[in-house]
Structure 1
Amino acid sequence: MDILLFCLFLAATFAAGATGALFPTGEWYKTLNKPTWTPPNWVFPVMWTSIYLFISFVSARVAVLEGNAYAMAFWGMQIAFNALWTPVFFGLRHLKASIPIMLGLWISVLGATITHMQLDFWAGLAFVPYLAWVTVAAALNMAMVRLNPDQEPLQLQNI
């Protein structure tokens, strides 16, 4: 594996993850109605850090393989949707608008899982926890919309 490629993928994943620091959950999130099966807050950074390390490692393996175009395209899609979801859900507090972003994230992670697996079984297998976590996140996202029907997004002021 190329260590520089790993570092580049890792930088991309942590740049996407930095949106969590830019748009923290805060008091607003604490006031929302949540399903009883919502994971404790400490689980989220543990899961995301693990996922980012896995997908950076295996994508660095796949990036050098012939025929990797679809795998890399799905990788790019998933990290873009990943970076976009947090500012919409936590930044704009737009629960409903975060649903199609989550759907795009789920589809792109599924695509990355399949295309990575076609090139390298272990690479595809490393995406499985990500797919499971995004499935839980999508269910949580949809439950939050259902449990908070009157939640209004932040109104942006004209600058």
Structure 2
Amino acid sequence: MQKYISLLVFLIVVLGGGLLIGYATLPGEWYASLVKPSFNPPSWVFGPAWSLLYVLIAIAGWRIWRREPHGAAMKLWVAQLVLNFLWSPVFFGAQRIAGALAIIVLLLIAIMAFMAAARRVDRVAFWLFVPYALWVAFATSLNASILLLN
């Protein structure tokens, strides 16, 4: 039972934190006025995509925490979550496209570093991060394109 309570805590922190930050930094008129690349997905895609990714991120973190709570993989997991939660306030809140690009590049590096460390500790956690890495790689190219176009 205690195992599932800790999973619930991870889900609340990650999914709840992500949804709260997303709600607090809604794109708004500024984002709507930006020139976007042709591969920019429709707005409705982001909510469901990030919700699913946050669930996967939470489960991966929980799995690593149960095996090595003070190990390198767990520290990298925390680092990527901080960077993840920082991106929206910088991009949408502060409207700093270049600053957000720097953050998302660091986020992608942190994700890859986590995956390398997690692979040695828990292969499932590694695989849970694959969709996240792919999405953030795509989001990095989207952020860079928006910077270049504006």
Compute the TM-score of the two structures, normalised by the length of structure 1: 0.87
As a proportion of its length, which structure holds more helix?
2
Corresponding residue for residue 23 of structure 1: 25
Structure with max Cα Rg: 1
What per-residue deviation string (whole Å, max 9, x for no partner) do you get for residues 69-115 of structure 1? 11111110011001111011000111111111111111111112222
Aligned ranges 1:83-122 → 2 under 5 Å:
83-122=85-124
Segment drifting more, 65-74 vs 127-136: 65-74
5+ residue gaps in structure 2? Answer: none
Task: Tell me how far apart the structure 1 counterparts of residues 12 and 121 of structure 2 sit (CA, whole Å).
Answer: 23
Question: Moved runs in structure 1, 4+ residues, more than 3 A?
Answer: none
Letter matched to residue 11 of structure 1: I
Corresponding residue for residue 142 of structure 2: 140
Task: Tell me how far apart the structure 2 counterparts of residues 66 and 121 of structure 1 sit (CA, whole Å).
Answer: 13
Task: Tell me how far apart the structure 2 counterparts of residues 34 and 12 of structure 1 sit (CA, whole Å).
Answer: 31
Match of 2:55 among 53, 56, 79: 53
**Total equivalences in the alignment:** 148
* Contact 1:17–1:83 (Cα < 8 Å) also in 2: no
Segment drifting more, 112-121 vs 63-72: 63-72
Corresponding residue for residue 63 of structure 1: 65
What per-residue deviation string (whole Å, max 9, x for no partner) do you get for residues 3-57 of structure 1? 1221222122121442111010011111100000011111111111111111211
Letter matched to residue 119 of structure 1: V
Letter matched to residue 3 of structure 2: D
* Contact 1:20–1:86 (Cα < 8 Å) also in 2: yes
C-alpha deviation, 1:61, in angstroms: 1.7
C-alpha deviation, 1:68, in angstroms: 5.7
* Contact 2:36–2:145 (Cα < 8 Å) also in 1: yes
Measured on the aligned residues, the alpha-carbon RMSD in Å equals 1.6
